[in-house]
């Protein structure tokens, strides 16, 4: 078939189509039976910063039904960090919802937690259409993400705003998260990060016997940030005192605060698989 030169107007139209597809079609990809959809808004707002930050990515299997899902919150002290699907959780028979959220000092920590709650509520509302089970939604995150995990799972009022019972979460897996009041909350109040505070902005304040299963993981107590292991050890003890039987604590010897996430992921996966087996689809 002879080559034909397209009219100039047609060429411009095709170029526009290619450019549009580069902007929109690049928001999803499928590799090894897993699809990743990116840049999904989980809340609507007329505020430009909120619209920019309140987005998530979802990585999920195409050939598995009623799979478990991990909602993952990045670390960064609630002042920095970017969403990403942890490599160790990719293509593991589960979905990962990786969440971006607003950051201090542009917003208060209560707004960070509210964003996290909205993202979890989005997951409950939408995971079934991706093939996942709403009964198998786990929440996890590293450092600041661990703090968000514990606050959402233990203080029920954050998710209640979105008509979600925090006890519907299948399990909580905070990695090296504060269990006392977060140091960024203390900074908002003019309190030193080395001055421990425990109030209603502390996960420890909300220990209760009917919470979802809780897996606490930290780095080595001698290498962690500012007593982070000891905070989590106290959380473990007080959950037990409160009557919560399904709380487990792991200390990863030889790993500091930043290093502990990679070896913690297999523990997370084992926990998710174990708990999921006890849950009907």
180-208 residue pLDDT tens? 999 999 999 999 999 999 999 999 999 99
Residue 175, domain CATH: 3.40.50.1820
State how many domains the chain has.
Answer: 1
In a domain? residue 11: no
Pairing mode, if any, of strands 95-99 and 55-61? antiparallel
Q: How confident is the model at residue 17 (pLDDT cuts 50, 70, 90)?
A: very low
In a domain? residue 30: no
Domain that includes residue 134, residue range: 35-277
Residue 12 has pLDDT above 70, yes or no: no
Residue 171 has pLDDT above 70, yes or no: yes
Max distance between CA atoms of the chain, in angstroms, equals 82
Helix, coil or strand: residue 257: coil
Residue 259 has pLDDT above 60, yes or no: yes
Contacts of 74 (CB under 8 A, 6+ apart): 81, 82, 83, 84, 98, 99, 100, 141, 142, 144, 145
Q: Give the pLDDT mean for 20-34.
A: 64
Residue 23 has pLDDT above 60, yes or no: no
In a domain? residue 142: yes
In a domain? residue 264: yes
In a domain? residue 19: no
What rounded mean pLDDT belongs to the chain?
92
In a domain? residue 92: yes
Residue 114 has pLDDT above 70, yes or no: yes
Query: Tell me, what's the pLDDT at 214?
Result: 98
78-103 residue pLDDT tens? 999 999 999 999 999 999 999 999 99
156-166 residue pLDDT tens? 999 999 999 99
Query: Tell me, what's the pLDDT at 9?
Result: 43
Residue 242 has pLDDT above 90, yes or no: yes
Query: Tell me, what's the pLDDT at 29?
Result: 85
In a domain? residue 201: yes
Rounded CA-CA distance 85/90 in Å is 7
Q: How confident is the model at residue 274 (pLDDT cuts 50, 70, 90)?
A: very high
The CA–CA distances, whole Å, from 169 to 11, 100, 207, 213 equal 52, 20, 16, 9
128-149 residue pLDDT tens? 999 999 999 999 999 999 999 9
Q: Give the pLDDT mean for 52-59.
A: 98
Cis peptide before 105 (omega within 30 of 0): yes
In a domain? residue 1: no
């Amino acid at each position: 078939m002879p080559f034909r030169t397209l009219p100039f107007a047609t060429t411009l139209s095709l170029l526009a189509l290619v450019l549009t597809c580069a902007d929109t079609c690049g928001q999803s990809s499928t590799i090894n039976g897993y699809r990743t959809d990116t840049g999904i808004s989980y809340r609507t707002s007329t505020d430009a910063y909120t619209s920019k930050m309140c987005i998530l990515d979802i990585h999920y299997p195409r050939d598995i039904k009623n799979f478990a899902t991990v909602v993952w919150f990045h670390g960064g002290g609630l002042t920095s960090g970017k969403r990403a699907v942890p490599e160790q959780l990719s293509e593991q028979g589960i979905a990962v919802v990786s969440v971006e959220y607003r950051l201090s000092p542009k917003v208060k920590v209560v707004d960070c937690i509210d964003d996290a709650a909205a993202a979890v509520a989005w997951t409950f509302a939408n995971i079934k259409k991706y093939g996942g089970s709403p009964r198998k939604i786990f929440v996890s995150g590293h450092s600041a993400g661990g703090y968000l995990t514990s606050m959402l799972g233990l203080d029920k009022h954050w998710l209640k705003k979105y008509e979600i019972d925090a006890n519907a979460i299948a399990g909580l897996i905070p990695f090296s998260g504060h269990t006392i009041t977060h140091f960024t909350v203390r900074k908002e109040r003019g309190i030193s990060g080395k001055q421990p505070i425990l109030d209603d902005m502390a996960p420890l304040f909300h220990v209760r016997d009917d919470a979802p299963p809780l897996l606490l993981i930290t780095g080595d107590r001698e290498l962690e940030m500012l007593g982070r292991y000891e905070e989590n050890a106290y959380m473990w003890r007080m959950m037990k005192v409160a009557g919560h039987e399904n709380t487990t604590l792991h200390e990863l010897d030889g790993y500091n605060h930043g290093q502990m996430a990679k070896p913690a992921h297999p523990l997370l996966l084992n926990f998710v698989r174990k708990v999921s087996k006890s849950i009907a689809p």
